[in-house]
Amino acid sequence: MIIAIDGTTASGKGTISKRLSAHYGLPHMDTGRLYRATGVAALRAGVDLTDPDAVAHVARHLDLASFDEADLRTADAGKAASVVAAIPDVRQALFELQRAFATQPIGALLDGRDIGTVIAPEADAKLWVDARVEVRGERRWKELQGQGSDLTLEEVIEQLRARDQRDQSRKDAPAEMAADAVLIDTSDLTIEAAVEKAIAAVEAAI
């Protein structure tokens, strides 16, 4: 069984993915981590993020074990991720890794932006997780405050809008809901209620 969970930043996609992977006993790949790691590795190496060949080289030689989770979760890492994710050769470099994970015999759950459309269009169940940008902004702002960030709520919402815009308007594998995906809007749901809804949608699809 393959479960594809796509959606917007800070929509609750990550939490729902972790819970569903435990519920169904499926290995989980957070594919955003690959793009974040590429962005962070490029910044560390002093590579210009707008140089497609140089960034693709970084993506092809990623050592995922060398990253601290905290370094990948910063606002700068998220922004760098969405910049490098628009480069077709970077997406190509990361494709096989994701495809191999998706097609392993025991099944898999992957979360990202293009799992249901590009990485595993044959997935048995597809969810698109979203929430109003103000709600997502508040969640992300609280998370960033915990990291000692001094960004205002308005700045965080503005960053989310810019990231959504960049992810949805890129030519290669834009972030979009697959035609056969089920929308889970978490704006007015508790985590528990969102997880229940997601499980119900998967049950209906398989």
Residues that bind ligand C5P (CB under 6 A): 9, 31-32, 35-36, 78, 81-82, 85, 112-114, 163, 167
C-alpha distance from residue 194 to each of 140, 168, 201 (Å) = 17, 24, 11
Amino acid at 117: T
The nearer residue to ligand C5P, 99 or 200, going by C-beta atoms, is: 99
The nearer residue to ligand C5P, 9 or 182, going by C-beta atoms, is: 9
- As measured in angstroms, the least distance from the Cβ of 165 to ligand C5P is 11
- As measured in angstroms, the least distance from the Cβ of 84 to ligand C5P is 8
Using CA atoms of 34, 35, 37, 38 in order, give the dihedral in degrees to the nearest 10. 120
Residue 190 labeled ligand binder: no
- As measured in angstroms, the least distance from the Cβ of 164 to ligand C5P is 8
- As measured in angstroms, the least distance from the Cβ of 134 to ligand C5P is 18
How close are the terminal C-alpha atoms of the chain, in Å? 8
Kindly list the strands in the beta sheet with 2-7, ordered across the sheet, starting from the edge strand earlier in the chain: 28-30, 108-112, 2-7, 125-130, 182-185
The nearer residue to ligand C5P, 142 or 200, going by C-beta atoms, is: 142
Residues belonging to the chain: 206
Residue 14 labeled ligand binder: yes
Residue 50 labeled ligand binder: no
Residue 9 labeled ligand binder: yes
Within 8 A by CB and 6+ apart from 191, the residues are: 12, 15
Residue 126 labeled ligand binder: no
- Round to whole Å and give the CA distance between 182 and 43: 36
Q: Are 66 and 33 in contact (CB under 8 A)?
A: no
Residue 7 labeled ligand binder: yes
The nearer residue to ligand C5P, 167 or 195, going by C-beta atoms, is: 167
C-alpha distance from residue 128 to each of 9, 47, 180 (Å) = 11, 33, 10
- Round to whole Å and give the CA distance between 120 and 99: 7
The nearer residue to ligand C5P, 85 or 202, going by C-beta atoms, is: 85
- As measured in angstroms, the least distance from the Cβ of 139 to ligand C5P is 12
Residues at the binding site for ATP are 7-15
Residues at the binding site are 7-15
